[in-house]
Amino acid sequence: MARRHPWIYDAAVARLDGRARPGDTVTVLSDGGKVLGKAAWSPESKIRARMWSFDPDAVIDHAFFKRAVAASVARRQAHPALAGQDGVRLIHGESDGLPGVVVDRFGPVVVMQLTSAGADKWREAIVAALVQATGCEAVYERSDSDVRGREGLEPVTGCVHGELPAALTIVEHGIRMEVDVVGGHKTGFYLDQRDNRRMTRELSAGRRVLNCFCYTGGFSLQALAGGAESVLSIDSSAPALATGARNLALNPTLDAARATWREADVFTALRELRDAGERFDLIILDPPKFAPSAAHAERAARAYKDINLLGFRLLNPGGLLMTYSCSGGIGVELFHKIVAGAAADAGVDGRILHRLSAAPDHPVGLSVPEGEYLKGLCCQVG
Ligand code: SAH
């Protein structure tokens, strides 16, 4: 609290005076009775309250959300790398001062995900503020994340403003990509990897590329645009791969003959590639969250070690491994240790060329270090 962290755990709450329903605004007082600010009450969650404001006099009302949403949107518009983007995260929860609120814009459509009781309660105010700040055609709600369960909230999805266009695409670094805001993962597209996709493009010329956990082919298409000799893309989701193939067709300047899409489990596919004696010059490992929280860290660490070890073994000398973890439960240092251990066990000498993270529309609040969920390394071997 003193450090302006926005979460108050159940154990830190001595008592609640009066009554509060889920999502109600409560005034937070210190042990000594000093007013610390205003928070949203989450009676079902271990995180019992989330701070809306550290201003003791703050009033949490429609005007508060209007200001907070407009400020977050304006920060993106003021950033030269974000201002011209079709796809951009407009609100990144705690790190933008709006706990439980995630909002992505894809062209004319805004996708909103509310994950806390407080955010859920203020849905209408947030939607009105988004429409006003962005002038968007439609707001689509994708509040179907598992974490809502921990707040005692049911999944909510659907259009809450306007109408969705028949087809939605964005252009990222010159490549057109389909975005399925209704059926896609999360809000439809992984915007956090935008900068790392550009780096992949810059490093791909003449290389044999293997893109593991490719989803709809974001990295694959950038690799092709960067002049990759071939790109093998693997994912276990047939619909994601089908979208990837459609995305390739949307970009006729790319050489489709260089691309192969394979529906497979990556853990199995990497072993098969190894047994077949295949080798690559650039391997991307961007798996799903193996460790949603610290409690899953040990099992997740084994899974990361496994794929990274296999990845290192499949590289030609001079090859690059671009490896990621988006697990909140695995910190940067632990991730580095796992990757270093994988290289050692694979018997390769390697070095880190780049430390990678999420794009700047996914900021990390200085008081919210757990906001740094995405970490990556670009390692070279040989
Ligand atoms: N790199 C992607 C995002 C990856 S999200 C991008 O830039 O857009 C993680 C992906 O891993 C999802 O598409 C999911 O379908 C896939 N996945 C999850 N477990 C898998 C497994 N065991 N084998 C193959 N793919 C898997």
| Ligand 1 centroid distance, CA of 211 (Å) | 10
SS3 state at 104: strand
Residues 6+ apart with CB under 8 A from 378: 199, 203, 320, 321, 322, 352, 353, 354, 355, 356
Q: What is the pLDDT of residue 370?
A: 83
pTM of this structure: 0.96
Nearest CA to 76 out of 359, 366, 371, 367 is that of 359
Determine the atom of ligand 1 nearest the C-alpha atom of 189: 8
Would you say the CB of residue 230 lies under 6 angstroms from ligand 1?
A: no
The low-confidence residues of the chain, meaning pLDDT below 50, are: none
**Closest C-alpha to ligand 1, atom 23:** 265
Rounded to the nearest angstrom, the distance between the alpha carbon of 156 and the centre of ligand 1 is 24
pLDDT at 291: 82
Q: Does the beta carbon of 237 sit less than 6 angstroms from any atom of ligand 1?
A: yes
pLDDT tens digits, one per residue of 177-217 = 999 999 999 999 999 999 999 999 999 999 999 999 999 99
DSSP, res 187: T
Residue to mutate (ligand 1; options 215, 243, 273; most atoms within 8 A of CB) = 215
**Domains observed in the chain:** 7-53 (2.30.130.10), 62-169 (3.30.750.80), 190-381 (3.40.50.150)
Mean pLDDT of the chain: 97
Tell whether ligand 1 has an atom less than 6 A from the beta carbon of residue 265: yes
Strands ordered across the beta sheet of 25-29: 7-9, 47-53, 35-41, 25-29
